[in-house]
Amino acid sequence: MTRIRLTKEFKFEMSHALKGYDGLCKNIHGHSYKLRVTIIGEPLNNQNHPKNGMVMDFGDLKRIVNREIIDVYDHTVVISNSESDAVKEGIGKATERIIFSPYQPTCENLIDDFAEKISKHLPDNISLYSLRLDETASSYAEWYASDNV
Ligand SMILES: [Zn+2]
Residue-wise pLDDT tens for the chain (149 aa)? 799 999 999 999 999 999 999 999 999 999 999 999 999 999 999 999 999 999 999 999 999 999 999 999 999 999 999 988 998 899 989 899 999 999 999 999 999 999 999 999 999 999 999 999 999 999 999 999 999 98
pTM: 0.95
How much distance in Å is there from the Cα of 30 to the middle of ligand 1?
6
* pLDDT for 1: 78
- Rg of the chain in Å (alpha carbons): 18
* pLDDT for 55: 97
Angular region, 50: left φ>0, alpha ψ -120 to 50, beta rest: alpha
Distance CA 129, CA 136 (A): 22
* pLDDT for 83: 87
How much distance in Å is there from the Cα of 56 to the middle of ligand 1?
33
How much distance in Å is there from the Cα of 104 to the middle of ligand 1?
11
Distance CA 107, CA 101 (A): 13
* pLDDT for 146: 98
- Catalytic machinery residues: 25, 75, 135
How much distance in Å is there from the Cα of 29 to the middle of ligand 1?
6
Q: How many residues does the chain have?
A: 149
Distance CA 1, CA 101 (A): 41
* pLDDT for 78: 97
How much distance in Å is there from the Cα of 125 to the middle of ligand 1?
35
